[in-house]
Amino acid sequence: MAEPDYIEDDNPELIKPQKLINPVKTSRNHQDLHRELLMNQKRGLAPQNKPELQKVMEKRKRDQVIKQKEEEAQKKKSDLEIELLKRQQKLEQLELEKQKLQEEQENAPEFVKVKGNLRRTGQEVAQAQES
């Protein structure tokens, strides 16, 4: 990168640019920490904390092992257990559908409820007359 022309001129009227001071690097805490890290590196002592990438990789490996164990346990289930699980899921789905229908009926406007009641009473009367 080429330097600007005004730097070469020794014009006393111009203010020469200076590098800004980094307040973090000038702080005493930062200097102490940096000195300590350099000393530990020279001695061969690594910081106790593992790098973030290594932590993530270990966590993924643990999760994968746990998932494999769960899959193996699921494969060992008997036919009866599998059938019972299927029935349980069907019952849960039916319960959810009933709850949805009930919520829809509760949220329905009043005139829709009254109309449904009139239809039911009309059907009951018709059945009673046929009997």
pLDDT of 4 higher than 70: no
Domain for residue 44, yes or no? Answer: no
Q: Residue 80: left if φ>0, alpha if ψ -120 to 50, beta else—which one? A: alpha
Residue 121 domain-assigned (yes or no)? yes
Residue 99 lies in a domain: yes
For 62-92, how does the pLDDT look when each residue is reduced to its tens digit (9 = 90+)?
A: 999 999 998 888 778 788 888 999 999 999 9
Asked, for residue 65, whether it belongs to a domain, the answer is no
The total number of structural domains that make up the chain: 1
- The residue range of the domain holding 112 is 81-130
Q: What is the DSSP string of 90-127?
A: HHHHHHHHHHHHHHHHHHS-HHHHHHHHHHHHHHHHHH
